[in-house]
């Protein structure tokens, strides 16, 4: 198993507040991984900062290279037949989408989780940090289908990106491939690091 010498994205968020440039670079890396996974029919089902590992970056564009890890709860197309009529609770509540609380496991739930991660990278806090119990959170997700509040201090492009990730209707959420072309990633990514090759 590959050794991740710098820990996880969760560790990084706890120790320092990331700049918008870093958020863009790391979101771009996560999206590239998700796009590849989703094209192969894999849904991670538990995407969160603690499951994204940090490795030394060799290109100088970013401090770290990110890799998605821990596929213990992931689902593939082959799992669909075995999951019929069976609701399985998968994921970490802080990053779960409303439909995943009810047992649905499609690629769009990873996109919701990504939105929560971008908020956490940008603010240093979990959006749902003020809940005393996970049951309160799950109730809010499952019954009210509420999305995390998008912080006011974020740039317009970042807010629009998050709106595409956190749509209540999973069919209306953008795919990882679509999000790679979003202005938050494309224009600002190119402006922030014009010499980077990814």
Instruction: Go through the domains of the chain in sequence order and give each one's CATH number.
Output: 9-70+89-191 (1.10.510.10)
Ranges in the chain, pLDDT < 70: 1, 77-90, 128-130, 132, 187-198
For the whole model, what pTM was predicted?
0.87
Element (H, E) at 52: strand 52-56
Secondary structure class of 148 (helix, strand, coil) = coil
CA dist., res. 112 & res. 84, Å (int) = 23
* Structural contact between residues 74 and 42, judged by C-beta atoms closer than 8 angstroms: yes
Are 147 and 166 contacting, i.e. CB atoms less than 8 angstroms apart? yes
Place of tokens 């890799």: 67
Tokens 């590849």 -> residue: 36
Per-residue model confidence (pLDDT) at position 138: 76
Determine phi and psi for 71, rounding to 5 degrees.
-95, 25
In degrees and rounded to multiples of 5, residue 39 shows phi and psi of -65, -30
**Cα(164)–Cα(181) distance, integer angstroms:** 12
In sequence order, the β-bridge partners of residue 67 are 53
Q: Which residues are known to be catalytic?
A: 46
Amino acid 52: pLDDT:
97
């Amino acid at each position: 198993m590959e050794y991740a010498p710098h820990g996880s994205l969760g560790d990084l968020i706890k120790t320092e507040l990331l700049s918008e440039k870093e958020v863009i670079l790391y979101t771009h890396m996560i999206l590239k991984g998700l796009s590849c996974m989703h094209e192969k029919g894999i849904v991670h089902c538990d995407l969160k900062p603690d499951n994204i590992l940090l490795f030394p970056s060799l290109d100088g564009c970013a401090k770290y290279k990110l890799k998605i890890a821990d596929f213990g709860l992931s689902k593939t197309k082959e799992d669909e037949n075995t999951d019929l009529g069976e609701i399985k609770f998968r994921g970490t509540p802080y990053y779960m989408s409303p439909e995943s609380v009810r047992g649905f496991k499609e690629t769009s739930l990873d996109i919701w989780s990504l939105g929560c991660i971008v908020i956490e990278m940008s603010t240093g806090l979990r959006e749902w940090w003020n809940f005393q119990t996970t049951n309160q959170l799950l109730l809010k997700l499952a019954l009210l289908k509420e999305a995390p509040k998008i912080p006011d201090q974020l740039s317009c492009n970042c807010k629009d990106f998050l709106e595409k990730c956190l749509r209540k209707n999973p069919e209306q959420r953008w795919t990882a491939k679509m999000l790679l072309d979003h202005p938050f990633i494309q224009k600002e990514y190119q402006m922030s690091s014009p010499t980077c090759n990814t």
